[in-house]
């Protein structure tokens, strides 16, 4: 190449006098057809935890068992700590306003079971669920490195849509039928913490109904049948994972329904069936759908109680 300025765009060469001189068109040498080599397509190694279709395998997730247990512990702590924090703020505001606080344990218990304080505790569950969902997202996606729902196992492969649609109400009807039978066999006290909560006011019942339908089915399934089950399934196998997740989900609800043994037994049955379905389908979508419908029926009953 010489040092003559050359424009590759317009194919003009500038002479020493400044006049533009067009160059001869460049001829492109083409290979004969028999000498053209077809490039082989690139093959990419599947990342660890990916299924055959390129999606993450929910039964072999990249997060660890300690990480999953950490998510579960955070979810439990959030639903207990945030309501206590809200009650503490409400008591502080009451004291600062000059109303004063009860001096006896019975008086304090009566105050805490009054409608405003119960409503404050129920309302605190909403941010607790949001924080739990945020922690789930961070662990599952690895700080936005993986798709959230796909990594948890949202895709539901297998039976036709009609069978899937029939499975959801069928499971709910079966669990309710078992609950009726258990109610005839086991003692079932109505003097539970949950009964005290729902009988406090209509506002509390509406807040609980909305929580049960729009928040709990998603957050709880993401934590238990999603993050926790996937990590345990990878390390200890399906049978042990089903038992552990079933008992952990059931155990978190025991304080609310303590002494309502028939209700607790029904909840144990529901937890076991949901976890079994998750193990069989490798998907949390049917678990969310069943959980949502189950809670929706109870929420409908709840808002129509009118204090009964």
What percentage of the chain's residues is helix, strand, coil (to nearest 5)?
65, 5, 30
Taking the model in full, what pTM does it have? Answer: 0.80
DSSP single-letter state for residue 34? G
Six-digit token string for 296 = 């929706």
Farthest-apart Cα atoms in the chain, separation? 108
63 secondary structure, DSSP code: S
Q: Which two tokens stand for residue 24?
A: 């001869």
| DSSP-assigned beta bridge partners for residue 227 | none
Residue that the structure tokens 């069978």 belong to = 163
Spatial separation of the C-alpha atoms in residues 5 and 19, rounded to whole Å: 12
The number of residues making up the chain comes to: 308
Task: State pLDDT tens for residues 238-247.
Answer: 999 999 999 9
Residue 210 makes CB contacts below 8 A (sequence gap 6+) with 299
Averaged pLDDT of the chain: 86
Residue 124 has a pLDDT of: 96
Residue environment code for 208-232, b if the CB has 16+ CB neighbours within 10 A, otherwise e? bbebbbebbbbbbbbbbbbbbbbbb
Span 58-86, pLDDT tens digits: 999 999 999 999 999 999 999 999 999 99
Residue 286 has pLDDT above 80, yes or no: yes
Q: Which of 95-99, 218-222, 285-289, 302-306 has the lowest mean pLDDT?
A: 302-306
């Amino acid at each position: 190449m010489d040092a003559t300025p050359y424009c590759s765009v317009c194919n003009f060469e500038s002479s020493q006098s400044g006049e533009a001189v067009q160059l001869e068109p460049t001829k492109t040498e083409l290979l004969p057809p028999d000498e053209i080599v077809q490039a082989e397509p690139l093959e990419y190694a599947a990342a660890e935890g990916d299924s055959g279709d390129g999606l993450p395998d929910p039964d072999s997730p990249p997060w660890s068992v300690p990480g999953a247990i950490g998510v579960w512990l955070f979810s439990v702590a959030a639903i207990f700590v945030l309501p206590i924090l809200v009650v503490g703020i409400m008591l502080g505001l009451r004291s600062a306003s000059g109303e004063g606080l009860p001096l006896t344990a019975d008086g304090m218990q009566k105050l805490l079971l009054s409608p405003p304080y119960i409503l404050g505790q129920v309302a605190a569950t909403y941010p607790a669920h949001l924080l739990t969902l945020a922690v789930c997202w961070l662990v599952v996606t690895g700080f936005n490195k993986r798709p959230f729902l796909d990594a948890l196992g949202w895709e539901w492969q297998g039976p036709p849509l009609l069978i899937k649609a029939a499975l959801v109400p069928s499971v709910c009807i079966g669990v309710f039928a078992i609950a009726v039978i258990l109610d005839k066999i086991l003692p079932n006290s109505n003097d539970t913490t949950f009964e005290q909560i729902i009988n406090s006011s209509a506002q509390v019942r509406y807040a609980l109904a909305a929580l049960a339908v729009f928040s709990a089915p998603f957050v709880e399934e993401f934590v238990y049948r999603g993050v926790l089950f996937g990590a345990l399934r990878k390390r200890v196998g399906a049978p042990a994972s089903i038992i552990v997740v079933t008992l952990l989900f059931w155990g978190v609800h025991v304080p609310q329904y303590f002494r309502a043994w028939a209700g607790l037994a029904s909840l144990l049955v529901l937890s076991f069936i949901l976890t079994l379905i998750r193990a069989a389908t490798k998907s949390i979508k049917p678990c969310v759908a069943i959980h949502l419908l189950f809670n929706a029926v109870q929420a409908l009953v709840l808002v129509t109680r009118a204090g009964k």
